[in-house]
Each structure stands twice: as C-alpha cells, then as structure tokens.
C-alpha cells in the first residue's frame, strides 16, 4: 500500500495529528478539501473546503487516499471495488488478524468511499 501522490484538483481530507500538528484555527477537523496548489518540497499547500474557504495547511495533514498493489505490479486506487470488497472482508475478520492500526485505516477508507463498515 502506498499514499497517492497529491496534485491540484484532487479531493482529500485534512485532519490534525494529535496535539502536535493542528489544522489552522477555525478549520473543521477533519475537513473534506480540494487541493488547489502545492509545490513539491514546500511544507504547506493551499486547499479549499466545501464552503469555499481557502486554507494553508501542512501537506502531511492532507490525506488523498491510498493505492494497493495488484497482480503484475499494477497499483489500484482505494476506490476500486475489488479493493473495497477486500477491505470489508478484512474489517469483518474474514481474512485473519490484522493490526489495529491497519483496521482503523481500513475503516477510514471504507467510510471515505461510501462503504461504511460491516457489523462485526
């Protein structure tokens, strides 16, 4: 699994990291955003929330999703139905034990892609 490369125009989620890296004051946490501008090597990017407000946010607080390896070395975006189906099976415990951190990320991906969670 790898993080998607962030580019202008992408939809993403901005969220603080514990008490160490907060979002700007007044910005909802978490917040669905569109990336407007980011130059690689820069620490901050410009994003716009759904209400049209623009914010300057540290790039590592912006999550644009993940890609998962598939056969033949091809990576599939997290929104691919085959990926979502597998994540639902992981969360449901059908594919063995996974670390709590991975399960939390799988639940987040399922919610972000409209799949919610299966009852345990």
Measured distance CA(26)–CA(63) in Å, rounded: 19
CATH topology of domain 2-63: SH3 type barrels. (2.30.30)
| Helix 81-91 and helix 100-112, axial crossing angle in degrees, nearest 10 | 140
Q: Do 4 and 64 contact (CB within 8 A), yes or no? A: yes
Tokens of 76: 């599939």
Measured distance CA(73)–CA(106) in Å, rounded: 21
Q: Do 21 and 60 contact (CB within 8 A), yes or no? A: yes
Q: Structural domain boundaries of the chain? A: 2-63, 66-112
Whole-prediction pTM: 0.74
Per-residue pLDDT reduced to its tens digit, 24-59? 999 999 999 999 999 878 999 999 999 999 999 999
Tokens of 110: 């399922």
Per-residue pLDDT reduced to its tens digit, 75-116? 999 999 999 999 999 999 998 889 999 999 899 899 888 887
């Amino acid at each position: 699994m790898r993080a998607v490369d962030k580019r202008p125009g992408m939809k993403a989620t901005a969220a603080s990291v514990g008490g160490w890296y907060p979002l700007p004051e007044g910005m909802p946490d978490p917040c669905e955003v569109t990336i407007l501008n980011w130059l690689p090597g820069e620490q901050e990017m410009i994003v716009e929330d759904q209400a049209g407000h623009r914010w300057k946010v540290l790039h590592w607080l912006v999550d644009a999703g993940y890609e998962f390896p598939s056969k033949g070395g091809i990576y599939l975006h997290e929104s691919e139905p085959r990926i979502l189906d597998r994540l639902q099976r992981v969360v449901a415990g059908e594919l063995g034990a996974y670390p709590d951190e991975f399960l939390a990320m799988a639940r987040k991906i399922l919610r972000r892609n409209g799949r919610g969670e299966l009852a345990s």
